[in-house]
């Protein structure tokens, strides 16, 4: 049975359960006039039956989506001929992929071992059997749940309370999804990172000075030692982030000050949305602009000054990233500057200070915790920014502080390691997850510190 047919049937059953339960509740109450004999409205009885019918079946569906394929494959493995059964897990998964390709008829590239043919047939049989079983179980559960709920309907059944309890459980489930996401990120990244640290010592990774992840395909190959010292990546990330912040912090802050302290409402209404457009432009567009327009400009400018600027210089990527971050800083600072009470400004102005003196000596100090928090968040964005650096920064891991040279960053390396063909056991791919772990931890710490700074040092004016 096709999945869509099954889902359609399932939805029909659930809707049927709703109407059946509603009718039954009305009948129990003795027609429409007797509705007040019911504890809950007929519709609540309907919802109750629908939920009873849908929830268990959905649970089974979700479970099958998680493990169904695995169970089928486990069965297939037991039917594999001998040389395959004692294979390593990674080789086995390749074989299983072949089986899958054979079964789906997309067998390309000819040379598949003929002994896999019957296995593919077995896989197909198991697969369709599991589909049928799933459909039967889901539809039976939906039917049984709906029927049972209809059966239990009495005038005094507290259907509304039960429905509300179930809905509340669903709401709670939705709200915990964020926690599951965090746990999922942590687990997936840590799991692979630990496997990586099993092959490359964590000390070498964190403090090693050489990064060249190309591992040798053959032992006698030259030049691909596979060194995983991440310091050059961290240095490159910090260099580009520092350039970005050097652009974004002063300009973003001045924009916020100008818009909140100087600009007329008309200008503010015009300029603010314009700058927000900068925040809405996708980063891939910034990357393209950096690579196509800014980098050649810098190169030509450097040549005119007699400087040797790399075509993928850290400066270009950093500059463009800084512009991307300007609206982020300016809107966060704008909020905290506007939160400073007018009475403070009035007091300072009344003492004869100019607007700039008031801003520098009264408003900014009062808003400082919020501004620092915003800057920290901006740093975490700069560190995690991917597309701009992928397109405009280099690939060579060089340990330098010269912004005119090409450097590479953590995110660039994650992308280059994971895009394209990959085997899932080589330290090369696992290294990407170790880098991801570092990235996640650093941004997490920055976010938490930003939150703490804002909370701890916020001046309360009420």
Partner 1 sequence: MSNDNPGADANPTRPVSEARRKVEAGVARRHASERRFRLYGLFSVMFGIVFLGLLLASVVGNGYSAFRQAQVRLDIHFDRALLDPEGRAEPGLLSGADYQLLVKSALGEQFPEVTERRERRELNGLVSPMAAYELRDLLLANPSLLGTRQSLWLPADDFVDMLLKGHVGRGAGVSGRPGGAQLAWVDRLKAEGRLELHFNRAFFVSGDSREPEMAGVWGATKGSFFMLLVTLLLSFPLGVAAAIYLEEFAPRNRWTDFIEVNINNLAAVPSIVFGLLGLAVFINVLGLPRSAPVVGGLVLTLMTLPVIIIAARAAIKSVPPSVREAALGIGASPMQTVFHHVLPLALPGMLTGAIIGMARALGESAPLLMVGMVAFVADVPGTPLDPSTALPVQIYLWADSPERAFIERTSAAIMVLLAFLLVMNLAAVWLRRRFERRW
Decide if residue 390 touches partner 1 (CB under 8 A).
yes
Q: Determine contact, residues 236/407, Cβ cutoff 8 Å.
A: yes
- Candidates 130-138, 238-246, 304-312, 373-381 — which segment interacts with partner 1 by CB under 8 A? 373-381
Q: What are phi and psi of 409, to 5 degrees?
A: -125, 170
Decide if residue 132 touches partner 1 (CB under 8 A).
no
Give CA angle at 70 (65, 73), nearest 5°. Answer: 130
Q: Residue from 29, 231, 444, 449 that binds partner 1 (CB under 8 A)?
A: 444
For every residue of 9-25, which 3-state class applies, written as one string?
A: HHHHHHHHHHHHHHHHH
d(CA 4, CA 20): 24
Decide if residue 182 touches partner 1 (CB under 8 A).
yes
The DSSP letter of residue 34 is G
Decide if residue 176 touches partner 1 (CB under 8 A).
yes
139 or 275: whose CB is closer to partner 1?
275
- Candidates 27-35, 84-92, 150-158, 274-282 — which segment interacts with partner 1 by CB under 8 A? 274-282
Decide if residue 372 touches partner 1 (CB under 8 A).
no
227 or 288: whose CB is closer to partner 1?
288
- Candidates 62-70, 76-84, 309-317, 338-346 — which segment interacts with partner 1 by CB under 8 A? 62-70
115 or 276: whose CB is closer to partner 1?
276
d(CA 322, CA 330): 12
Instruction: Spell out the residues 6+ positions from residue 454 whose beta carbon is closer than 8 angstroms to its own.
Output: 369, 370, 372, 373
Decide if residue 424 touches partner 1 (CB under 8 A).
yes
Decide if residue 246 touches partner 1 (CB under 8 A).
no
Give CA angle at 82 (81, 85), nearest 5°. Answer: 90
Residue 212, beta-bridge partner list: 227
Q: Which of residues 63-102 bind partner 1 (CB under 8 A)?
A: 65-66, 69-70
Site pattern 142..161 for partner 1 (x: CB under 8 A)? ------------------x-
Instruction: Spell out the residues 6+ positions from residue 420 whose beta carbon is closer than 8 angstroms to its own.
Output: none
- Candidates 25-33, 173-181, 220-228, 452-460 — which segment interacts with partner 1 by CB under 8 A? 173-181
Site pattern 210..229 for partner 1 (x: CB under 8 A)? --------------------
Decide if residue 350 touches partner 1 (CB under 8 A).
no
Q: Which of residues 300-319 bind partner 1 (CB under 8 A)?
A: none
Instruction: Spell out the residues 6+ positions from residue 45 whose beta carbon is closer than 8 angstroms to its own.
Output: 21, 22, 24, 25, 38, 153, 157, 159
Residue 228, beta-bridge partner list: 211
Decide if residue 357 touches partner 1 (CB under 8 A).
yes
The count of other CB atoms within 10 Å of the CB of residue 369 is: 19
- 223 Ramachandran zone, left/alpha/beta (phi>0; psi -120 to 50): left
d(CA 288, CA 387): 9
139 or 440: whose CB is closer to partner 1?
440
Min dist. Cβ of residue 176 to partner 1 (A):
7
Residue 227, beta-bridge partner list: 212
Min dist. Cβ of residue 291 to partner 1 (A):
7
Min dist. Cβ of residue 113 to partner 1 (A):
22
Q: Residue from 287, 318, 394, 427 that binds partner 1 (CB under 8 A)?
A: 287
Residue 211, beta-bridge partner list: 228
């Amino acid at each position: 049975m096709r999945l869509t047919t099954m889902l359609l049937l399932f939805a029909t059953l659930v809707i049927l359960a709703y109407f059946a339960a509603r009718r039954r509740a009305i009948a129990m109450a003795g027609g429409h006039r007797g509705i007040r004999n019911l504890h809950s409205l007929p519709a609540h009885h309907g919802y109750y039956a629908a939920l009873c019918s849908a929830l268990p079946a959905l649970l089974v569906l979700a479970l099958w989506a998680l493990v169904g394929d695995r169970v089928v494959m486990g069965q297939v493995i037991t039917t594999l001929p001998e040389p395959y059964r004692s294979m390593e897990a990674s080789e086995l998964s390749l074989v299983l992929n072949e089986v899958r390709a054979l079964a789906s008829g997309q067998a390309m590239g000819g040379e598949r071992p003929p002994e896999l043919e019957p296995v593919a047939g077995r896989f197909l049989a198991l697969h369709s059997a599991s589909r049928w079983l799933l459909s039967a179980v889901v539809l039976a559960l939906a039917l049984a749940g709906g029927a049972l709920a209809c059966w239990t309907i009495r005038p005094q059944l507290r259907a509304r309370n039960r429905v509300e309890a179930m809905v509340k459980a669903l709401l709670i489930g939705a709200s915990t999804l964020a926690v599951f996401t965090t746990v999922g990120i942590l687990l997936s990244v840590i799991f692979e990172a630990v496997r990586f640290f099993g092959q490359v010592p964590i000390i070498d990774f964190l403090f090693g000075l050489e990064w060249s992840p190309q591992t040798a395909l053959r032992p006698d190959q030259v030049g691909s030692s596979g060194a995983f010292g991440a310091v050059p990546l961290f240095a490159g990330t910090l260099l580009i982030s520092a350039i970005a912040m050097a652009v974004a912090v002063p300009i973003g802050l001045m924009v916020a000050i100008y818009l909140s302290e100087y600009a007329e409402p008309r200008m503010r209404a015009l300029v603010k949305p314009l700058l927000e457009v900068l925040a809405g432009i996708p980063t891939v567009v910034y990357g393209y602009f950096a690579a196509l327009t800014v980098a050649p400009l810098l190169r030509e400018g450097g040549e005119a000054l007699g400087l040797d600027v790399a075509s993928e210089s850290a400066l270009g990527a950093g500059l463009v990233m800084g512009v991307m971050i300007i609206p982020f800083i300016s809107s966060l600072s704008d909020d905290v500057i506007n939160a400073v009470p007018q009475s403070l400004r009035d007091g300072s102005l009344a003492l004869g200070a100019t607007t700039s003196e008031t801003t520098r000596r009264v408003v900014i100090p009062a808003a400082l915790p919020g501004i620092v928090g915003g800057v920290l968040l901006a740093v975490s964005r700069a560190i995690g920014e991917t597309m701009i650096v992928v397109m405009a920064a280099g690939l060579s891991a060089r340990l330098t502080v010269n912004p005119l040279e090409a450097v590479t960053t953590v995110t660039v390396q994650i992308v280059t390691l994971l895009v394209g063909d990959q085997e899932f056991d080589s330290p090369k791919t696992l290294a990407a997850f170790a880098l991801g772990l570092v990235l996640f931890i650093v941004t997490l710490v920055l976010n938490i510190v930003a939150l703490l700074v804002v909370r701890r040092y916020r001046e309360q004016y009420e």
